[in-house]
Every structure is written in C-alpha cells, then in structure tokens.
Chains A and B, each alone.
Chain A
Amino acid sequence: MSQVMLPAKKFVVSSVSSDAHMWNLVFLQLLLEEQGADVTNLGACVPDDLIIEECRRSRPDALVISTVNGHGHLDGLRLIRRIRSEPDLADLRVVIGGKLGVRGAENIVFAEELALSGFDAVFEADAGIDSFQEFLATLDSAERPALTSGAAA
C-alpha cells in the first residue's frame, strides 16, 4: 500500500482582543509546527475582525484561541458569537484554552457557556496540554472538505 501524503494541517493561532500574553502563543506555534502543521500566529491583542479576516483568507483546519489574562470568558464569548454569526464561518473548527477567568481552579465554570456558545472544545489551564493533544489527534481522522469532495483541485 503506497503512503498517502496528506497536506499539512493549517492552524490560525491567536490571542483575544484584550490579552497581551505571548509565551502561550509562541509555545503553541512550536508545538503545532513540530507535528507538521502550517501555523499563522496572529500574536497578542488581536481584534475580532482581524481573526475573522485571517480565517476567511486561510481557511484553517482549526482556529486555536489561547488566553491567560482572565478576560477569556468575556472576549472569547464575544468572539465566538461573532464567528458563528458569519454564515461562511459557521463550520469553522474553533477551540479556546488557557486561564479563562480570574478565579483560578474555579474558572471551569466558564467552560460550559463557552462551549454552548459555539467553541468546539474548551481547555482550562489546569487540565494541562494533554487534552489539547487529544483534540489534535482527532483532527487526523476528521474529514476535511478538500479531501472528501473528490475534486482534483
């Protein structure tokens, strides 16, 4: 059986509009690139419009939002509602992770609302990176429109 070369997975990595933390984004980029992915890293303090514009332009396999300043439950909620209100982005895979509030271990209370509002997965910081790695593993088996259409693009 010949080996099938899948195209590299594409990710957009971003913070939310009010979060200036950067090391989490540097780490995620390295982690994804080591697994062969193409990463567009939008950096810190990214306005919603810019995130939406970039997702529209590059059609990533997933948008990965990372935030640790405690405003994630506010900015993340606003962002995902914007994204889900755009018809062409309704199917975009979007996940969020980090310190989502200012309550430490109790931040988990925000996870449900974020998930119900449209995030495909929510990772609270205390859960560690393993659950995010498990999420990445599910992408390998997930169908991508470009592969299932059968079109020889």
Chain B
Amino acid sequence: MVQPRMGFADLPTMREGLLGVRAADAAAVGTITLDSYTRVNDHDSARAALRTGAELNGFPLVAHGSDTTRQLLDSVSGDAFPVQIRHGSALPYPLFRAMVEAGVDATEGGPVSYCLPYSRAPISEAVKAWAQCCELIAEQPEPMHLESFGGCMLGQLCPPSLLVALSVLEALFFREHGLHDISLSYAQQTHPGQDLEAIAALRRLAGERLAAADWHVVLYTFMGVFPRTPVGSFRILEESVRLAVRSGSERLIVKTPAEAHRIPTIAENVDALEFADSIARDEASRVPEVGATDSGIYEEARLLVDSTLELAPTVGQALVEAFARGHLDVPYCLHQDNANRSRAYVDAGGMLRWAEAGRMPLRADGGGGSRRPVSAKGLLTMLGFNERRFDREQLTHAHLRGLQYSHPPRRSLT
C-alpha cells in the first residue's frame, strides 16, 4: 500500500485530492494532512484563515467541524479506500473528539513523537493527553487505527536503534491504553543496508512485545533535506520503495519531486504514488540486491526499551522518567524536556552512528575519531547527505552525456 502526504485548506480541493489518490493506478491509502494552526490547537486562527481565504498548509479539521469532515469522508472513502488523518498535535484531545465524531478510519502520532519535535508541551502533559485520546478511541464500537510516529523523530540524523525503540515504546503505550489496531513507523535514513537491518529489528521486537495486537509497519520515504532535482527525487523514492518491499513493510508514505521546493500538487502526488507502485511490483519480482548490515540495532533498541520500562510501573510514566534522566535523548532536539546531549553523525560509508550517547546506555565512538563538536557547515553537510547522494548524478550531467553520445561507427557488414 502506498500513501501520500496531502492536505488542502478548502473542501473542494481536499475532496479533489482524495478522489485523485483513489483513482490512481496504485494500491493507495488516502491522507488528510492537517494545517499547522490545528496542530497547535489554535483553531481560531484556522477559522479566521477560512473566512479570509488566507493560505493554510493543510486541512483545518476542527475549524471545518466534524459534520463537514464526515460528509467529506463519506463521499470519498470506504473499505477499499481508507483515509488517515495526519496532524502532528501534542495535545490532541479536541482533535480526537472531532475525529471520532467524523468517523475517521485512522490517524497517527504518539506522546513522544508528536511532542518533542512539534510542540512546547511538557512530555508529562502529552502523555496524559494521549492516554485520554487512546482511551477515547478504544471505547468506540469500531476504534480507529493508530500509528506511532516514533520511527521518524526529527526526520533525519536520529540513529536507527532509537527510532526503533521509540516506535515500540509508543506502540506499547497504545496497547496499555486499550488499542489493538496499531502500526509502527520507520523513516528511511542514509544507508539502505542499515535501514533494512533497522526494520528487521523493529519487526522482531514488535513480534516479541505486541503479540496480541494487530500491527503492521509503515515506512516513510526520507523526511530530511530532499534532493532538489527531479531525477534525484525519484531515485530516493525508488530506493525507499525497494526498501519497503525487501523489508516486508506493509505501507509506504511517499514524497514527491516538489518536496524540496514547496507543497506538492495533487497531480504530483498521484505521479509519485503510481511510480512507487510500479517500482514495488518490479522489486517484488527481483532477487534482492541489498543485504542488511549487522550493526547491533536490535540489541541496542531492545536495551533501550527494556531499561526504559524498568523506570516506572506504566509505559507513560517510564517515558516521562526516561527523558527527564536523559536515558532517552533525541540528538539535536531542542524541546525543553529532551536532554539534547546525544549527537549523531553520518560515517564515511553512509551509516548513521552515535557520536555522543549522552546518558543513554549505549556505546558511542565520539564521531569517528574526531571529537570536535559539529560546525554549522558540518551540520549542513550531514543534513544534505542524501540530497548530494541522489542529486550528484544529475548535477554532473553524467547521465545526459551518456544520452548525447553519437552512435558508434557501424561495422562494415562486408
């Protein structure tokens, strides 16, 4: 299954977008991405924007209201075409009320993954709010599906073991509050073999810890600094599709070539979905070309999960306690409840590694021999690793030179 990121402020465009995705030549799930005002519960600003026609970066679900949203969903979605609401809200109870009233199929988030990167709310408040939200949907006759966004922290430069651990911990939190229909996430990073190892670790840990639940894995096409050329964009998308197929990920959230520049159009999203679907069919019929690395991601992730759970009697309290102690520490994350002592780097082979572990129970190598703190330029270089990796070919025009060669001289037939 492939799924876009897509959100428009006005109803006709949002409906047109969902219908476009439904009609795409691909096994697709629909998406309604909400706007940033709704994300921070500033529904008045969202309503004001709807009145004045000011441009929003997504669909303001609460401002539109649950009746309007229900009518929109009824007109486009069904068993063959589920629609997920994507939001990014740390304190989402008002939104969950509206989603339940609107009969939403699925949503995503989590008390850590939607708090640390996206808000100023204390983790303890996010844990309380998400517990209420989980319980609200658990008591519905048909509880909506909930995906943990824990495998996507900050989009890039978070080493895989922590992504896997956070995804599993949030899934355990959802289970603790009564949910059975859940998914775990992982975002493509810098090295296909390492990503393959990471998703295998995620599946193994989920299999061990979530036995009684109905779970699947969703992979995200790289969420960081994106290639700027169309060829580079399609190549990174292609690599993520092949990774999804090889790793057995049931769902893939794609990006489009417009990503580095602006919010994509409906047509660009449909193109990306159809491209991804065709690559998926191709990969399924091939012998795998990339093998998983063996860098101990499963062991690190399991250690982080187990040692975190030992800190408190509930998963929610354990998460609060773990971040307060720096036992879990997302590199570079500025949220006031994150220790921000850990550091990650991309090594010469393209693998994402720990430079500093902070107070996490992990081994770090200090950044490959150099103990200098990262510079602004060094940070940009690491953030742009995939951009360069996938754009290099087009920017040097090597592939075009190949096309421009004149025909080799024909051999004489005599």
Contacts and interface: CB of A to CB of B under 8 A. Distances in A.
Nearest to A16: B36
B263 A18 contact: no
Interface in B216-233: 224-225
Contacts of B383: 23, 27
Interface stretch (B17-25, B141-149, B371-379): B371-379
Contacts of A27: 376, 379-380, 383
Contacts of A47: 120
Contacts of A99: 262
B119 interface: yes
A70 B55 contact: yes
Interface string A44-71: 1111000000000000000000000111
Interface residues of B, number: 35
Given A70-B263, A102-B262, A22 B332 contact: yes
A31 B156 CA distance: 20
Nearest to A26: B332
Contact of B379 (A26, A44, A102): A26
B376 A19 contact: no
A30 B383 CA distance: 14
Interface of A: 17-20, 22-23, 25-27, 30-31, 34, 41, 43-47, 69-71, 74, 99, 101-105
Contact of B336 (A22, A31, A43, A103): A43
B57 A103 contact: no
Contact of A102 (B57, B156, B335, B336): B57
23 contacts: A18-B36, A18-B45, A19-B36, A20-B117, A22-B154, A22-B334, A23-B154, A23-B224, A23-B379, A26-B379, A30-B379, A44-B118, A44-B335, A45-B40, A45-B118, A45-B119, A47-B120, A69-B57, A71-B37, A101-B55, A102-B57, A104-B261, A104-B262
B88 A20 contact: yes
Contacts of A103: 55, 262
A20 B118 contact: yes
A52 B54 CA distance: 25
Interface string B63-81: 0000000000000000000
A137 B333 CA distance: 29
A30 B335 contact: no
Chain A's interface: helix, strand, loop or mixed, by majority? Answer: loop
A27 B377 CA distance: 8
B42 interface: yes
Contacts of A69: 36, 57
B339 to A, nearest CB: 14
Given A43-B335, A44-B118, A31 B376 contact: yes
A102 B13 CA distance: 15
B180 interface: no
A53 B155 CA distance: 30
Interface string B294-336: 0000000000000000000000000000000000000011111
Interface string B48-64: 01000011110000000
A67 B138 CA distance: 37
B304 to A, nearest CB: 22
Contacts of A18: 36-37, 39-40, 42, 45
Interface in B339-390: 374-376, 379-380, 383
